[in-house]
Amino acid sequence: MAADTILEVQGLELAYGTRVIQRDLGFSVRRGSIFAVMGGSGCGKSTVLRSLVGLLRPAAGRVLVGGEDYWAGDAAQREAIGRRFGVLFQNGALWSSLSVAENVALPLRMFTRLDNAAIDSLVRLKLALVGMEHAAALSPSELSGGMRKRAGLARALALDPEVLFFDEPSAGLDPVTSKRLDDLILQLRDGFGQTIVLVSHELPSLLAIADDGVFLDATTRTAIAHGSPKALRDDSINPQVQAFMRRERLEQEG
Amino acid sequence: MSEANSPKVTLRQDGAHATLLLSGAWIGRSGDTPRPAEAMLPEHGTGADRATPASIGFDATRLGRWDSALIDFLWQLRRLAAGRGIGFDESGLPDASRRLLSLLDDSRPAPLPPRRGPGLLARLGGATTTALTGALNNTGELSSLLGGLTLRAGAASLGRARMRGIDLLDNLYDAGPSALLIITVVNVLVGAILAFVGVVQLRRLAADSFVANLVGLALVREMVPVMTAIIMAGRTGGAYAARIATMQGNEELDALAATGIPATDYIVLPAVLSLTAMMPVLYLYGCVVGIAGGFVVAIAMLDITPLAYIQQTRMSLPVGEFGFGLLKSFAFGLMIAVTSCRIGMKAGRSAADVGSAATSAVVVGIVGTIALDAVFAVVANAVGR
């Protein structure tokens, strides 16, 4: 494993029962990069993400986090590794019984010994970074889709994770809001130097922010191309990848 | 963390300009990062050096690793400086931190929501008002609205009163005070029905005075524990299952798992504790109101003085009977809470799954209560009670 690789996937096979979603999947994520897991709907992108953050045990293969085998250890070891992760779920997955501020504060309360003043201060900072300061007291059900994602992002940032995972960050957002979220992700990455792994099929967003990635295919059920979205668009000769990317080109020209 | 590595800020004042030397690793969760007020009112300088500087700058050459703790520090410092009219020169800071600072707005004072929810007494008071208004209006709507508002106010309090405590309090309120009305209605009616049946039948045997024994024993041993458990399985068990299943659908449980917070501690424990703790209390309450219901009917139909009826009831009910009932209530509460939480956690992710989780929690709760009661009856018989 190269020194600047933070996450490496080797021979991963994912299945729900006997239904295989992806097999023989391999890729590695460089520290500080924005890595995209791409592919059409239903090819298992989100399933891959679930196996990376500890929600789905792979049927075979390994996930190495900084050289440690994530699924080899017991639950406590996985938890310790997982504490270096932040996850933004597709619809934010905010805990509905807590206010926005409490959502961000909960991980800090659970995993640090900070006093209330320090926690408040960090919560305020995280909310201000994502532009959600004014919404601290609201409950998740009172938020719009875009706000929910930003609040989820603030929560994912709560413990200053090394790796941030995003499940379809721009899904369900209008192009302007989506662009704003992309910009925010870039600014935060540049600021904190985090590694970001994102699952997406939104081409504008992929082209704008990802600098490396893997392309999954639903029929062959494995990765068919590696590289940044831009490189795949310009250089890939794989017809599947081309079809996916060409639509984007037409859209951009139109 | 070694001394050399711990985060430090040192002030060097050079006439009107002050430079803050940042050093060490600034990691938020270590909890040892300096507060800005301490940096602005330094103890390092002597007399003349303490004059308020016209501007502050930074020297970050000895700064180690940092995360949002540094940004938090700088942001607070920048707001402090702005408030006191002190110039803030960011040029000495790492580029990345300046980029993050540019995302932050100084103008908003950013108050967090008030942290204190209503106290226990206020909640109970509110709950009583809620229950009464609800009863008067003969609709559940108003009561649930008021109840919801009370709870939201509680939830908005960012826990200096600890998070887990608040969860427990919410659950206790749900499993206890808010169930009083229905527990009262059902047990009063059961007591009255028993008395009515007892009067009609025992009169034929000229054993009228034993109505009190029948009502008291039947209520305390069987009817109140079982009826209370069935009610709680229907209203609280079903609610637990539906709530947890909905959290499943919203990926809230995934978010807990991915954050490393055990769902059992966060959700199941408060639910189980509160229902298990509240059932015996509700049981005792149910006994009192049930006996009262029987009393009213018996007095109206029989030629017996109230005092004699009460005396007869007291004689027919040794304290041990209550102990047995309490034990049963405790077991029923535990069983209902655990099964319904489990059903919720095992539910699927669709809206229909929420419905079926609630249904099966209620069915399992009711059938389980009666089955468990049968076991208790056999055991009681075996030990000769």
What does B320-342 look like in DSSP terms, one character per residue? HHHHHHHHHHHHHHHHHHHHHHH
Q: What distance in Å separates residue A77's CA from the closest CA in chain B?
A: 11
The answer to whether residue A17 is domain-embedded is: no
Q: Is A16 on the interface with B (CB under 8 A)?
A: no
What are the structural domains, with CATH classification, of chain B?
3-103 (3.30.750.24), 162-382 (no CATH)
Residue B349's DSSP bridge partners are: none
Report the share of chain A in percent with pLDDT over 90.
16
Q: Does B42 touch chain A (CB under 8 A)?
A: no
Q: Which two tokens stand for residue B359?
A: 């249904």
What is the pLDDT, as a whole number, of residue B7?
A: 85
> Per the domain annotation, does A155 fall within a domain?
yes
Q: Is residue A227 part of a domain?
A: no
- Res. B191: pLDDT tops 90: yes
Domain that holds residue A135: 99-160
* B284 or A232, higher pLDDT: B284
B17, β-bridge pairs: B14, B55
**What tens digit of pLDDT does each residue of B229-275 get?**
999 999 999 999 999 999 888 888 888 888 877 777 778 888 888 99
Asked whether the ipTM of the predicted complex exceeds the cut of 0.85, the reply is: no
Distance, in Å, from the CA atom of B182 to the CA atom of B227, rounded to the nearest integer, reads 11
Average pLDDT (A135-148) is 87
- Residue A128 in domain: yes
Domain contains A225: no
pLDDT at A106 over 70: yes
Contact A24, A185 (CB under 8 A): no
Residue A122 lies in a domain: yes
pLDDT at B164 exceeding the cut of 70:
no
Contact check, Cβ <8 Å, B96/A193: yes
Q: Would you give the distance in Å from CA B312 to the centre of its chain?
A: 42
Which residue in chain A has the smallest CA separation from B112? A136
Best of A110, A119, A197 to substitute, by most chain B Cβ atoms within 10 angstroms, is A110
pLDDT at B55 over 50: yes
Reported confidence tier of residue B33, pLDDT bands at 50, 70, 90? confident
What pLDDT digit, counting tens, does each position of A53-82 carry?
888 889 999 999 888 888 888 888 888 888
Question: pLDDT above 90 covers what percent of chain B?
Answer: 35
Averaged pLDDT score across all residues of chain B: 80
* Beta strand segments in A66-193, E: 68-69, 85-88, 163-167
In percent, how much of chain A has pLDDT > 70? 96
Of the candidates A213, A165, A162, the residue with the CA atom closest to the CA atom of residue A32? A162
Cα first-last separation, chain B: 65
The total number of structural domains that make up chain A: 1
Identify which of B99, B155, B258 has the shortest CB distance to residue A85: B258
Give the Cα separation of A179 and A196 in Å (integer).
17
Distance, CA of B202 to chain centre: 48
Q: Is pLDDT at B129 greater than 60 in this prediction? A: no
Helices (H), A157-193: 175-192
Is A141 an interface residue toward B (CB < 8 Å)? no
Residues in chain A with CB shorter than 8 Å from the CB of B113 are: 99, 101, 136-137
Asked whether residue A112 is assigned to any structural domain, the reply reads: yes
Whether A215 maps to a domain, the answer reads: no
Q: Quick one: pLDDT at residue B159?
A: 38
Between the alpha carbon of residue A54 and those of residues A51, A87, A227, B69, the distances in Å are 5, 11, 25, 27
**Contacts (Cβ under 8 Å, ≥6 apart) of B110:** A124, A128, A133, A136
Label the pairing between strands A223-226 and A212-216: antiparallel
- Residue that is written with structure tokens 């027919």 in the block: B316
Mean pLDDT calculated for residue range B4-12: 79
| Cα B7 from chain centre | 38
